[in-house]
Structure 1
């Protein structure tokens, strides 16, 4: 089982993120003993959609005279999308200063799917690994442990 341990080179970055909190960490230790330090932390106060919408969905008349409801805007979703875009920009700005820029991304599946294209389109970042786990609210030692054992 010893082969399955991830070795993160010194200077590699780890982006831990969910839809409302992100930590960009840098490994100041070596490949065998991680020492993750916070480079940047972002949080977004994104209340649930029910707390953001003011009224029920709009209604309109169809050509046949029946009434239909319009789809309600998901403000929570829009805010999450905007937050992830800010996270990606911040990460690229910070990581872009080191070459080669190596990154491990740990996020919930939804955030991971949205972040991947935002991070890789620039071409300046190489994603070493993706962890399909939400570690954004864990302590640094827990994050280090999860990444070491990935």
Structure 2
């Protein structure tokens, strides 16, 4: 069982929003305090793209194939994880937290894990592969506590 000690940071994120919570009490009765939030504007790919997908010549006469266009929306999601990892590195470097719990959708968790600096990853005590960014804080408290008790 992993304990949610006092002062532990819990970062709840998806690919467009991050909630920064700090446990003010102990594991028995966690009290997560929301002390920060990051939201990224990420319009749909259709709104971000400027042109139609390109076309290229095939081997045959008068034959052309469509080329896949960059998915700007998906690219921005990956950048959000990298930006969040950088922010966590800055905070860890300042000594803002000693223990960290990451709560994110599995894909986002993978992107974030890949982008974390060693100084931050050494402080990660648990990862919860769930999307909880739109849950109220009291539900996040209960779900995180339950996940840590079964870990």
Deviates more, 1:89-98 or 1:131-140: 89-98
| Residue 139 in structure 1 maps to residue 116 in structure 2 | no
Contact 1:13 1:95 in 2 (8 A): no
Ranges in structure 1 where 5+ consecutive residues have no aligned partner: none
Report the equivalent of 2:29.
33
Report the equivalent of 1:149.
146
Write out aligned runs for 1:101-120 (5 A). 101-119=98-116
| Residue 16 in structure 1 maps to residue 12 in structure 2 | yes
Report the equivalent of 2:49.
53
For residues 77-103 of structure 1, the C-alpha deviation after alignment (integer angstroms, 9 at most, x for no partner) is 111112222212222222333387211
| Residue 83 in structure 1 maps to residue 83 in structure 2 | no
Root-mean-square deviation (CA), in Å?
Answer: 1.9
Relative distance call for 1:129 and 1:28 in structure 2 (3 A) is same
Ranges in structure 2 where 5+ consecutive residues have no aligned partner: none
Structure 2 residue matching 1:86: 3-state secondary structure: helix
Whole-angstrom distance in 2 between the partners of 1:34 and 1:21: 23
User: In the comparison of the two structures, how many residue pairs are matched?
Assistant: 145
Relative distance call for 1:40 and 1:100 in structure 2 (3 A) is closer
- C-alpha displacement of 1:64: 4.2
